[in-house]
Amino acid sequence: MDGCVKLTPPKICRHFDMEYDMKKVLIASLVVVGTLAVASVGFAKEPIEPIGPPQGINVAQAELGKKLFFDPRLSKSGFISCNSCHNLSMGGTDNLKTSIGHNWQQGPINSPTVLNSSMNIAQFWDGRAPDLKAQAGGPIANPGEMASNHTLAINVLKSIPGYTSEFKAAFGKGPIDIDQVTEAIAEFEKTLVTPNSRFDQWLGGDKDALSSDEMAGYTLFKDSGCVACHNGPAVGGSSFQKFGVVEPYVTKSTAEGLIGVTGKEEDRFKFKVPTLRNVELTYPYFHDGEAATLTVAVNTMGRLQLGKKFSSAENAQIVAFLKTLTGDQPSFALPILPPSNDGTPKPEPF
């Protein structure tokens, strides 16, 4: 557990102990496949579980968090909001290789989706934030992203009468602080789940929900061992795995993964397994954004993670299956933000 010292909440250290070498991955997938063979009558045991509706949401805080998520005044430029890089009209991503931050800076890494991110064991590709609340303060003060700082962002919010009353109503106590801001944003993010995909309909017993090609793709996904890492309700998000198990991944990106958090050499190039929910919408793929299409991503995964070379027909079937994971996208009226007042600190776009 010594690698966990830098991580305050003990919660995620548990997961870091889950070491997967290839042998264990294969054993895990055999166990999964074996269980499925036993349970193949009926829908009892699948490695992927349906997504349920969000539970126990504090509506007032989530509604406030929605506004903050869309509010560019949390950035120094007054131009960049969470939604700039996690566009909820585009699967919760920016569909760029790497994001554009303050002053048009090129970001170092691909923006993961915020959809279903509450199901992740930790946040960021390397898991350095234990949960959504801990994550949400980061981008506001990151000079390469929103480039503000927490004091300035709080001063902006405090100057806006519409916000002071809404924070008061949502939290019952003042004054506005960064803790309330990140709490509200996290509460909103918990609502960003995508139930009712065609795959979930199939899981629920609708045998006609998938075509025969999609079904064949799912069988390949299970039998090849993809499910050893991509499983559970989010079809990922539940462990850190080495990228390049059988063959190394070649990239210009300098991201090193989990080792940056634990300091353990064995964690070099381990990344949080991304969710494959809505993966049809969240291109381009991988932490460096270098895989432009699902065809390329599936081919790379087969070769590097499992030592498998899929035929183009097999690849197309897996891609067809992956596209059945697109669920109902969050849908709501665009929030109308309370106006600044005369004393609100002015944006500095340039």
Residue 223 host element (H or E): helix 212-223
Which of residues 11 and 44 has its CB atom nearest to ligand HEC in the complex?
A: 11
Give the span between the Cα atoms of 57 and 30, in whole angstroms: 38
Give the span between the Cα atoms of 150 and 75, in whole angstroms: 10
Are the C-beta atoms of residues 331 and 57 closer than 8 Å to each other? no
Q: Does 130 bind ligand HEC (CB under 6 A)?
A: no
Which of residues 44 and 103 has its CB atom nearest to ligand HEC in the complex?
A: 103
Contact with ligand HEC (CB under 6 A) among 3, 130, 225, 232: 225
Q: Does 230 bind ligand HEC (CB under 6 A)?
A: yes
Give the span between the Cα atoms of 6 and 252, in whole angstroms: 27
Q: Does 111 bind ligand HEC (CB under 6 A)?
A: yes
Q: Does 117 bind ligand HEC (CB under 6 A)?
A: yes
- Tokens for 1, please give them: 């557990």
Q: Does 62 bind ligand HEC (CB under 6 A)?
A: no
The window from 9-17, 37-45, 56-64, 83-91 that contacts ligand HEC (CB under 6 A) reads 83-91
How many CB atoms sit inside 10 A of residue 268's CB?
Answer: 13
Min separation Cβ 204 and ligand HEC, Å = 23
Query: 3-class DSSP state for residue 271?
Result: strand
Residue 37 host element (H or E): helix 22-38
DSSP annotation string for 147-192: ---HHHHHHHHHT-HHHHHHHHHHHSS-S--HHHHHHHHHHHHHT-
Site for ligand HEC in 157-186 (CB under 6 A): 185
- Amino acid, res. 31: V
Q: Does 228 bind ligand HEC (CB under 6 A)?
A: yes
Which of residues 99 and 201 has its CB atom nearest to ligand HEC in the complex?
A: 99
Task: State the sign of the Cα–Cα–Cα–Cα dihedral 96, 97, 100, 104.
Answer: negative
Are the C-beta atoms of residues 189 and 133 closer than 8 Å to each other? no
Out of 19, 46, 49, 145, pick the active-site residue: 145
Are the C-beta atoms of residues 261 and 6 closer than 8 Å to each other? yes
The window from 33-41, 107-115, 159-167, 168-176 that contacts ligand HEC (CB under 6 A) reads 107-115
- Tokens for 195, please give them: 């139930």
Site string for ligand HEC, 294-323 (x = CB under 6 A): x--xx--xx--xx-----------x-----
Q: Does 99 bind ligand HEC (CB under 6 A)?
A: yes
Q: Does 119 bind ligand HEC (CB under 6 A)?
A: no
The window from 42-50, 121-129, 156-164, 168-176 that contacts ligand HEC (CB under 6 A) reads 121-129
Q: Does 287 bind ligand HEC (CB under 6 A)?
A: yes
Contact with ligand HEC (CB under 6 A) among 139, 232, 233, 327: 139
Q: Does 65 bind ligand HEC (CB under 6 A)?
A: no
The yes-or-no answer on residue 266 being catalytic is: no
Which of residues 77 and 344 has its CB atom nearest to ligand HEC in the complex?
A: 77
Binding residues with ligand HEC: total (CB under 6 A): 53
- Tokens for 49, please give them: 């579980």
β-sheet bridge partners, residue 105: 101
Give the span between the Cα atoms of 283 and 285, in whole angstroms: 5
Q: Does 235 bind ligand HEC (CB under 6 A)?
A: no
Are the C-beta atoms of residues 33 and 224 closer than 8 Å to each other? no
Q: Rounded to whole angstroms, what are the CA distances from 241 to 21, 179, 276, 299, 337?
A: 9, 31, 15, 18, 40
Residues with catalytic function = 145
Residues that bind ligand HEC (CB under 6 A): 25, 80, 82, 84-86, 99, 101, 107, 109, 111-112, 114, 117, 120, 123-125, 132, 135-136, 139-140, 145-146, 185, 221, 224-226, 228-230, 241, 243, 245, 271, 273-274, 276, 279, 282, 285-287, 294, 297-298, 301-302, 305-306, 318
